[in-house]
A and B are shown apart, each in its own frame.
Chain A
Amino acid sequence: MPNDVNMAIGGETLNRVKIIKHIEQEDEIGQTIMTVEWEFLQQLASRAIYQK
């Protein structure tokens, strides 16, 4: 993940370091980020966005 982009999610604003921390702690935000990642990968594999 690049350093010069942040994400705002669920009342938190996260940079790269904070995102990694949440994932390592496996807290709610960390789990959400992992779900987002997983669904994105599934979408890439299925190319769903390119289908009508």
Chain B
Amino acid sequence: MSQSLLVTRSNHDEATNYLYYWSAMVIKSAKKKKFSVYDLAGKKANKKEFDRCLKATKPTILFLNGHGNATTITGQDLEPLLEVGKKAAVAGTIIYARSCDAGITLGKTLIKDGVKAFIGYNQKFILGYTPGRLSRPLTDPMAKLFLEPSNLVVISLVKGQTVQTAQVESRQAMRQNYRKMTAVTASKLEKYAARWLWNNYKSQVLYGDAKAAV
């Protein structure tokens, strides 16, 4: 059976625009590994399209990028895509939610609803970025320190690693970046932003079957 990846990536503000561009790197990796990729980008990241796509494609991996809270993950213009108490055809998938707080309640609920495994954040996901690079997010060295390690979750999964390994590899990459950012050779900006990366490092959580793989 072919493997598939469903990505939601809204782009209605500065933060989501960064996630939008950096998610493209993950999509590229998945295509290289012969995954069928369903890309709900920008305005396509809406509830109707999301539900239709979930039912039609039954994705192996669901990669959500957008704002969130303890009970909800949103798409374009903050439209809720996944919510506690509202059914969605997510059973059997592995989910990575690059979104604030979804690990507090939603992640655990999704496991009860039949999701194989969930990786997300049980606190705010913080992104440091350079205001001067807003129009070219992929060239922003500050954002790279945050988004490359988080991309690694899905990149590891599409390479066939277990959820546990994906989690470990991503956190190790954050750790390495953190060390760079706190080294004597680091810039003033990096040293300051290290506290934000530390927040992501300690709040990235894994629920469900850690041995699951695609």
What residues of chain A have their CB less than 8 Å away from a CB belonging to chain B? 1-2, 4-11, 13, 15, 32, 36-37, 39-40, 43, 49-50
Does A40 lie within 8 Å of B195, measured CB to CB? yes
Does A10 lie within 8 Å of B198, measured CB to CB? no
Q: Which residues of A contact B128 (CB under 8 A)?
A: 5-7
Partner pick for B131 among A9, A11, A15, A43, CB 8 A cutoff: A15
CB distance from B105 to the nearest CB of A (A): 16
CA A24 – CA B36 in complex, angstroms? 48
Does B142 lie within 8 Å of A5, measured CB to CB? yes
**Which A residue's beta carbon lies closest to that of B69?**
A10
**Which A residue's beta carbon lies closest to that of B101?**
A10
Within 8 A of A (CB), among B140-195: 142, 175, 178-179, 182, 188-189, 192-195
Q: Which residues of B contact A43 (CB under 8 A)?
A: 198, 202
- Cβ of B89 within 8 Å of any chain A Cβ, yes or no, is no
Q: Which residues of B contact A9 (CB under 8 A)?
A: 100, 124-127
CA A23 – CA B68 in complex, angstroms? 22
Q: Which residues of A contact B78 (CB under 8 A)?
A: 11
Q: Which residues of B contact A10 (CB under 8 A)?
A: 67, 100-101, 124
**Which B residue's beta carbon lies closest to that of A3?**
B131
Partner pick for A36 among B129, B130, B131, B196, CB 8 A cutoff: B196
Can you list 21 contacts pairing A with B, beta carbon distance less than 8 Å? A4-B189, A5-B130, A5-B142, A5-B192, A5-B193, A6-B128, A8-B126, A8-B129, A9-B100, A9-B126, A11-B78, A32-B124, A36-B124, A36-B126, A36-B196, A37-B195, A39-B198, A40-B194, A40-B199, A49-B175, A50-B179
CB distance from B180 to the nearest CB of A (A): 12
CB distance from B129 to the nearest CB of A (A): 6
CA A9 – CA B142 in complex, angstroms? 15
